[in-house]
A = this chain, B = another copy of it.
Amino acid sequence: MNVRRFPTTAEISREAGVNKSTVSRALKADPRISEATRKRILEIAESMGYAPNAIAQSLATNNSNIVAFVGSETQNYWYQENIQTLARQVTQAGRQLMLFQVMRGGTIDDVIPQMIQYRVAGCIVIPAVEMTDTAAERLRQFGISMVLLNRPGEAFGASSVRQDQAEGGRGVAHFLVAGGHRRIAFIAGNMNPAAQDRERGFLAGLKEIGVEPFAIDRGEFTFRGAYAAATRLLQAEVRPDAIFAANDMMAYATIEAARAAGLTVPDDLSVVGYDNGRVGAWPGFRLTTVAQPIERMFGDALGLILDRQDKPDLPPDRVGIAAGLLIRDSARVPEDLGALPIDCRRDGPFG
């Protein structure tokens, strides 16, 4: 309860009868310190309950070791499901994760001041947050590297880790047509660049094969929006025999809407999503979906940032990731998967 100050390197040095800098070196395993003194210093530090002050270290080294994650106020589970993966990786890299959140209708500019204030080492930005040139410029000015997820970084001079979302969409088009569907509807997302790419790729894919999209509706990337869209689609005079939803959240809604309409998936309706969210693995959904190797993508993103700490002139880099289709039971499966322009993998039954 006594408000005693935290032990500092100075106190340790006094106690050990050495200089502050010796302590500093001993603490960080500098090879020049003799084993004997290091051991002694470590013991003293330990006994005093010493804990290094990362704030002071950051100031002295001009290097914060904080990684920023810039998310948005989305309802989408993607961000939420995967933040834990990032947290783990950041921890394992000996860094800290700081969360920044852009409110609905805002842009990344809203959080730029805070990111700069804390001199974060770099930031990882999800597709749902709107980028701006001024923000990119400002970050560059302060030597903060950016990694954009699932969207091109070129326009902002940023790095990117990107599964080609258009390829994913295209793959789904081929998959659905090969599966024998001819009335293929699409439930689009919002203006988020990843959503746009998925749509573009999907439509391009259909065009390649000479199949007209049966219908296009908007679901705004929300459960509710997609539920309404799917319901409209399924209540029409002629209904689609397949629906591709631009993300899993909307695919869940589509499956529920189908069920509510008394339809059986995939017999009456095939549904394909995008994201490989966790709910899709539940037995009631068994969603066929485009999967992204999250673990690897975050790992790469983190790597790009760490590489650029202290190396302000390392140019941005881009890593591309192949799209892959995870096949479960929500869509009829074509005979010859090998002929598709997308990598396919089957997910065994639940349990």
Interfacial residues, chain A to chain B (CB-CB below 8 A):
1, 3, 6, 49, 51-56, 58-59, 64, 66, 71, 73, 75, 77, 80-81, 83-84, 87-88, 91, 96-101, 103, 111, 113-114, 116-119, 138, 140-143, 223-224, 227-228, 252-253, 256, 259-260, 278-279, 282-284, 312-313, 350-351
Contacts and interface: CB of A to CB of B under 8 A. Distances in A.
Nearest to A50: B116
B98 A96 contact: yes
Nearest to A141: B49
Closest 6 CB pairs of A and B: A54-B117, A80-B80, A87-B101, A51-B116, A256-B284, A97-B99
B58 A55 contact: yes
A243 to B, nearest CB: 16
A171 to B, nearest CB: 28
Nearest to A91: B101
B142 A6 contact: yes
A96 B83 contact: no
B227 A283 contact: yes
A118 to B, nearest CB: 5
B101 A55 contact: no
A99 B118 contact: no
B119 A55 contact: yes
Specify how many copies of this chain sit in the oligomer: 2
21 contacts: A6-B142, A49-B138, A51-B116, A52-B117, A54-B117, A54-B118, A54-B119, A55-B55, A55-B64, A73-B88, A77-B80, A80-B81, A91-B114, A96-B114, A96-B118, A97-B98, A98-B99, A227-B351, A228-B351, A252-B282, A259-B284
B87 A99 contact: yes
A71 B84 contact: yes
A78 to B, nearest CB: 11
A99 B96 CA distance: 7
A252 B224 CA distance: 18
Contacts of A3: 143, 312-313
Contacts of A224: 350-351
Contacts of A84: 71, 73, 80, 101
Contacts of A58: 55
